[in-house]
C-alpha cells in the first residue's frame, strides 16, 4: 500500500507540468468539476489511477435526481429545490447539513440542464416508479438507464471541452505552503515512476472508502462482513489527506447499502419492491418495512439467519424491471425462482409453506382494511402479488460510503479547528461529507450521483475562481465565493 500524505511544498520534486486546476479522480464528480473549470476557461488536468475513466459512477443505474427541470415540466411534474431539499432532510431525520443540502438541491436541476444543453448529454425522466422518500418523479437517467452511459458521456464531454487527462497515475501526496494552499500534487505512475504536478487549485474527487476494509470496520462495523459492490479504487484517499490537513470530517458512518443476488453479486432493482414486492427470510417471515429505503434494508437482510433473504415479487412487476439491463442479467444468470402458487413458491425457496402463506394472507388483509402492517408499510390493492410469482435470494451489500471531508455550499473543504475554508482545496462526491446524515437510514436514492455532479460542478467553478478565472454563477446562489 502506497503511503498517502500531505507534505510541505519545499519537499516536492521539480514539477514536470502544471495546470490551473488539478482534479484527482475521473468519476462523475471529477468530470463535472473538469467541465465547470473548463467552462470558466481554466486549464484542467484530470488525474486518474485507473487506465480509463470508470469509477463507481460507471457501475450505477445512472439515476441522477434534479428538481425543477424542463424534463419534469414537459411531463407536468411540479417540483422545486425546496421540495427536493425537504425530502432529503426528512430522509436524514434532519441530520444532514442543511446548507449543503440546499446548495445541492438548488444546483440539481440546473446541473442536468447544463450537462444536456451545454455539454450534449442526453437524459430522460423516469416517471414510472416513485422511489421511497421522493415526493416527486425527479430521477433523470441516460437513455440506456446505465451509469456506464452517463460516465462515458461525461468523459466524452470533458474531452470535447478541452480537459487533459493523465491515466494510470495515483496521487499519493499533496504539497502545501505555509498558508495551507495546495501548490502541487505528487503521483506514482504505473511503471513505478513518480511525478510532481504544480497547480493553482485542486479538486479531490477520489470517491469514498467502501473499498478500504479497515476504514469500513472502523466507521461502519455493521457492514464489515457485507459484500462490497462498488469500485475497488474507493480507498478513502481523500480521508487520509483530510486527516493530514486537519480538515473537518463528517458522517463517516453514512453509506448506501443495497441487496445483491447471493450467488452473482448482481444488484436487484428496488423497482420490484416499490411495485408490491416483499422480503422474507429463510423462516418464511417478513422482518421489516421494505419501503423505508433500500439502503437500510441491506443491514436488515444481513441480520437474518444466514445473512440472506428473498425478494418475492410477481410477473407484473417483473415487466418494469426488465427495462434495466442488470435485471436482464439476473434473469440470464438463472437466479430467479418461479412458481404458480404460494405452495410451489415456498417449495422453490425452501421455506416453511405455512409461514409464507400467512405472510401473503396478512398483507391481503391489511390492504383490504386499508391499514399499515405491523412494520408500518401500506400495500395498495392493485399492487398485491399475484401468480405467477418470482423469488431471488439476496445478500446485504455495501455500495458506497457517504461520509468524508466537510465542505460548504461552494464545495470548499473546511478546517477542523475553526470551520474556515482552505484557500484552494475543493471536494465532492464520495470524497466529501454527503447529504445523508450519520448512517444508512438517511440515504435518499440518488444522493450519491447528485452530490457527485452538483458538488463536482461547484468545486470546479470554485477551483477555477481560485486560479484566477471568472466562473459562471447562474447555476447556484452559492457560486460567487
Ligand atoms: C451498483 C451501484 C449502483 C449505484 N447506483 C446509483 C444511482 O443510480 N444513483 C446514485 O445517485 N448513486 C448510485 N450509486 C452511488 C454512486 O456510484 C456514487 O455515489 C458516485 O458514483 C460517486 O461518484 P464519485 O465521482 O465521487 O466517485 P467515483 O465514480 O468512484 O470516481 C472516483 C475516481 O477516483 C479515482 N481515484 C481514487 N483515488 C485516487 C488517487 N489517489 N489518484 C487518482 N485517482 C484516484 C478512482 O479510481 C475513481 O475512478 C451506485 C453505486 C453502486 C455501487
**194 strand-pairing partners:** 188
Please list the residue range(s) of the chain that carry CATH number 3.90.700.10.
256-398
Q: Which atom of ligand 1 is nearest to the CA of 399?
A: 53
- Residue 58 in grid coordinates: 460507471
CA 352 – ligand 1 centroid, Å: 40
Ordered strands of the 124-125 beta sheet:
64-65, 139-141, 124-125
Q: Are strands 164-167 and 44-48 parallel, antiparallel or unpaired?
A: parallel
CA neighbor of 106 nearest in space, from 396, 354, 435, 328: 435
Q: Are 206 and 400 in contact (CB under 8 A)?
A: no
Cell numbers 514539477 correspond to what residue?
15
**175 strand-pairing partners:** 7, 184
Q: What is the largest CA-CA distance in the chain?
A: 75
Alpha-carbon distances, residue 339 vs 88, 349, 362 (angstroms): 39, 10, 20
CA 154 – ligand 1 centroid, Å: 13
Q: Are strands 5-8 and 169-176 parallel, antiparallel or unpaired?
A: parallel
List Cβ neighbours of 348 (8 Å cut-off, separation of 6 or more): 337, 338, 339, 391
CA distance 462 to 425: 9
Q: Are 208 and 400 in contact (CB under 8 A)?
A: yes
- The values of phi and psi at residue 99, to 5°, are -70, -45
Q: What is the pLDDT of residue 32?
A: 98
CA 185 – ligand 1 centroid, Å: 21
CA 30 – ligand 1 centroid, Å: 10
Of 186, 449, 456, 459, which is best to mutate to test ligand 1, by the most ligand atoms within 8 angstroms of its C-beta?
449
Q: Is the CB of 259 under 6 A from ligand 1?
A: no
List Cβ neighbours of 377 (8 Å cut-off, separation of 6 or more): 289, 290, 291
Nearest Cα residue to atom 49 of ligand 1: 55
CA 272 – ligand 1 centroid, Å: 25
List Cβ neighbours of 254 (8 Å cut-off, separation of 6 or more): 401, 402, 403, 434, 436, 437, 438, 439, 440, 442, 443
- Residue 25 in grid coordinates: 479522480
- Residue 6 in grid coordinates: 500531505
> Could you give the count of Cα atoms lying within 13 Å of 284 in the half-sphere of its Cβ?
20
**Claim: this prediction has a pTM higher than 0.85:** yes
CA distance 361 to 355: 10
Q: What is the pLDDT of residue 2?
A: 60
Q: Is the CB of 241 under 6 A from ligand 1?
A: no
- The values of phi and psi at residue 468, to 5°, are 100, 15
Q: What is the pLDDT of residue 85?
A: 98
Q: What is the pLDDT of residue 474?
A: 54
Give the count of beta carbons closer than 10 Å to the beta carbon of residue 354: 10
Nearest Cα residue to atom 15 of ligand 1: 448
Give pLDDT tens digits along the chain (481 positions).
568 999 999 999 999 999 999 999 999 999 999 999 999 999 999 999 999 999 999 999 999 999 999 999 999 999 999 999 999 999 999 999 999 999 999 999 999 999 999 999 999 999 988 999 999 999 999 999 999 999 999 999 999 999 999 999 999 999 999 999 999 999 999 899 999 999 999 999 999 999 999 999 999 999 998 999 999 999 999 999 999 999 999 999 999 999 999 999 999 999 999 999 999 999 999 999 999 988 999 999 999 999 999 999 999 999 999 998 889 999 999 999 999 999 999 999 999 999 999 999 999 999 999 999 999 999 999 999 999 999 999 999 999 999 999 999 999 999 999 999 999 999 999 999 999 999 999 999 999 999 999 999 999 999 999 999 997 655 554 333 3
CA distance 292 to 375: 10
CATH number at 256-398 = 3.90.700.10
- Residue 478 in grid coordinates: 452559492
Q: What is the per-residue DSSP string for 57-111?
A: GGGS---EE-SS-HHHHHTT----HHHHHHHHHHHTTT-S-HHHHHHHHHHHHHH
Q: Is the CB of 233 under 6 A from ligand 1?
A: yes
Of 5, 23, 25, which is best to mutate to test ligand 1, by the most ligand atoms within 8 angstroms of its C-beta?
25
Q: Is the CB of 171 under 6 A from ligand 1?
A: yes
Please list the residue range(s) of the chain that carry CATH number 3.50.50.60.
5-253+402-466
Q: In angstroms, how far is CA 2 from the centroid of its own chain? A: 26
Helices marked H in 279-352 — which ranges?
Answer: 294-302, 315-321, 325-333, 342-349
> Could you give the count of Cα atoms lying within 13 Å of 372 in the half-sphere of its Cβ?
9
Q: What is the pLDDT of residue 476?
A: 52
CA 207 – ligand 1 centroid, Å: 5
Three-state SS at 131: coil
CA neighbor of 43 nearest in space, from 459, 453, 460: 460
DSSP-derived secondary structure letter, 432: B
- Residue 272 in grid coordinates: 420490484
Q: Are 442 and 93 in contact (CB under 8 A)?
A: yes
CA 50 – ligand 1 centroid, Å: 13
CA distance 239 to 225: 22
Q: Is the CB of 63 under 6 A from ligand 1?
A: yes
Q: What is the pLDDT of residue 478?
A: 38
Q: Is the CB of 266 under 6 A from ligand 1?
A: no
Evaluate whether the domain defined by 5-253+402-466 bears CATH number 3.50.50.60.
yes
Q: Which atom of ligand 1 is nearest to the CA of 172?
A: 41
End-to-end CA distance of the chain: 37
Q: What is the pLDDT of residue 129?
A: 85
Per-residue pLDDT of 99-121, as tens digits, reads 999 999 999 999 999 999 999 99
Of 146, 197, 207, which is best to mutate to test ligand 1, by the most ligand atoms within 8 angstroms of its C-beta?
207
Three-state SS at 198: strand
Q: Which atom of ligand 1 is nearest to the CA of 53?
A: 49
Q: Is the CB of 27 under 6 A from ligand 1?
A: yes
Give the count of beta carbons closer than 10 Å to the beta carbon of residue 228: 18
Amino acid at each position: 500500500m502506497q503511503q498517502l500524505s500531505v507534505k510541505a511544498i519545499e519537499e516536492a520534486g521539480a514539477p514536470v507540468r502544471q495546470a490551473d486546476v488539478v482534479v484527482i479522480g475521473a468519476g462523475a464528480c471529477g468530470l463535472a468539476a473538469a467541465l465547470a473549470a473548463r467552462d470558466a476557461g481554466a486549464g484542467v488536468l484530470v488525474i486518474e489511477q485507473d487506465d480509463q475513466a470508470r469509477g463507481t459512477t460507471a457501475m450505477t443505474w445512472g439515476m441522477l435526481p434534479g428538481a425543477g427541470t424542463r424534463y419534469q415540466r414537459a411531463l407536468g411534474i411540479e417540483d422545486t429545490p425546496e421540495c427536493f431539499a425537504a425530502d432529503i432532510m426528512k430522509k436524514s431525520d434532519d441530520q444532514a447539513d442543511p446548507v449543503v443540502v440546499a446548495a445541492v438541491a438548488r444546483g440539481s436541476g440546473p446541473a442536468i440542464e447544463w450537462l444536456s444543453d451545454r455539454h450534449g448529454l442526453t437524459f430522460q425522466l423516469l416517471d414510472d416508479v416513485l422511489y421511497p422518500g421522493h415526493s416527486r418523479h425527479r430521477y433523470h437517467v441516460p437513455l440506456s438507464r446505465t451509469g456506464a452511459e452517463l460516465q462515458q458521456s461525461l468523459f466524452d464531454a470533458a474531452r470535447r471541452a478541452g480537459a487533459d487527462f493523465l491515466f494510470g497515475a495515483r496521487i499519493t501526496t499533496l504539497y502545501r505552503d505555509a498558508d495551507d494552499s495546495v501548490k502541487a500534487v505528487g503521483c506514482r505512475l504505473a511503471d513505478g515512476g513518480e511525478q510532481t504536478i504544480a497547480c493553482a487549485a485542486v479538486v479531490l474527487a477520489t470517491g469514498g472508502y467502501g473499498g478500504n476494509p479497515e476504514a469500513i470496520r472502523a466507521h461502519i462495523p455493521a457492514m464489515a462482513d457485507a459484500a462490497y459492490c462498488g469500485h475497488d479504487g474507493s480507498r478513502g484517499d481523500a480521508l487520509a489527506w483530510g486527516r493530514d490537513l486537519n480538515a473537518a470530517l463528517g458522517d463517516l458512518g453514512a453509506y448506501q447499502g443495497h441487496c445483491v443476488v447471493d450467488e452473482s453479486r448482481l444488484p436487484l432493482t428496488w423497482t420490484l419492491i416499490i411495485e408490491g414486492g416483499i422480503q422474507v427470510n429463510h423462516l418464511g417471515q417478513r422482518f421489516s418495512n421494505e419501503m423505508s429505503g433500500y439502503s437500510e434494508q441491506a443491514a436488515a437482510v444481513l441480520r437474518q439467519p444466514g445473512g440472506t433473504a428473498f425478494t418475492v415479487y410477481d410477473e407484473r412487476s417483473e415487466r418494469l424491471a426488465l427495462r434495466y439491463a442488470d435485471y436482464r442479467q439476473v434473469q440470464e444468470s438463472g437466479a430467479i425462482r418461479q412458481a404458480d402458487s404460494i405452495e410451489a413458491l415456498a417449495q422453490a425457496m425452501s421455506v416453511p409453506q405455512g409461514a409464507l402463506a400467512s405472510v401473503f394472507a396478512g398483507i391481503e388483509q391489511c390492504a383490504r382494511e386499508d391499514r399499515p402492517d405491523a412494520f408500518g408499510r401500506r400495500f395498495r390493492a392493485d399492487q398485491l402479488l399475484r401468480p405467477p410469482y418470482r423469488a431471488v435470494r439476496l445478500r446485504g451489500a455495501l455500495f458506497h460510503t457517504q461520509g468524508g471531508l466537510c465542505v460548504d455550499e461552494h464545495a470548499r473543504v473546511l478546517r477542523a479547528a475553526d470551520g474556515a475554508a482552505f484557500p484552494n482545496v475543493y471536494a465532492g462526491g464520495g470524497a466529501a461529507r454527503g447529504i445523508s446524515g450519520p448512517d444508512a437510514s438517511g440515504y435518499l436514492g440518488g444522493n450519491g450521483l447528485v452530490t457527485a455532479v452538483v458538488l463536482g460542478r461547484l468545486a470546479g467553478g470554485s477551483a477555477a475562481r481560485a486560479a484566477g478565472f471568472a466562473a459562471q454563477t447562474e447555476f447556484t446562489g452559492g457560486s460567487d465565493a
